[in-house]
């Protein structure tokens, strides 16, 4: 395989010169506390929020067994924007009065 050829051509001694440079950079790094919130954590929360509060802004009937609901964030309850989604993705929507429903998102 091509990957075997690349790995066999690497000589570990070629990397020994990296150690002094790494040690020098580590020594120059300030001992400041880490940020409380890393950018990757903010991104993760945007993709996977624990809860979203939504308002139904429109209902469109497609016959006796199908309806489309247009949802918007409920800013009064703390949801400023909706999480990212893919068309066809399934989500569980809980409604306090009547339990839970499973819906498929469309775009």
Q: What distance in Å separates the CA atoms of residue 38 and residue 49, rounded to the nearest whole number? A: 16
Give SS3 for 95: strand
Residue 63: pLDDT over 70: yes
The range of the structural domain enclosing residue 58 comes to 51-104
| Spatial separation of the C-alpha atoms in residues 45 and 18, rounded to whole Å | 37
For residue 19, being part of any structural domain is answered with: no
Is the model's pLDDT at 59 over the cut of 70? yes
Residue 25 has pLDDT above 80, yes or no: yes
Residue 99 lies in a domain: yes
SS3 60: strand
**Count of domains in the chain?**
1
27, part of any domain? no
Does 80 reside within a domain?
A: yes
**56 pLDDT tier (thresholds 50, 70, 90):** confident
Q: Let me know if residue 3 belongs to a domain.
A: no
């Amino acid at each position: 395989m091509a990957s075997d050829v690349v790995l066999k051509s690497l000589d570990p001694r070629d990397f020994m010169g990296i150690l002094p440079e790494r040690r020098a950079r580590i020594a120059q790094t300030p001992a400041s506390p880490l940020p409380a919130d890393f950018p990757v954590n903010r991104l993760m929360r945007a993709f996977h929020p624990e809860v979203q509060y939504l308002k139904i802004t429109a209902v469109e009937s497609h016959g006796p067994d199908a309806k489309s609901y247009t949802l918007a964030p409920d800013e009064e309850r703390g949801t400023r924007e909706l999480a990212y989604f893919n068309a066809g993705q399934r989500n569980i929507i809980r409604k306090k009065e009547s339990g839970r429903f499973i819906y498929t998102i469309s775009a």
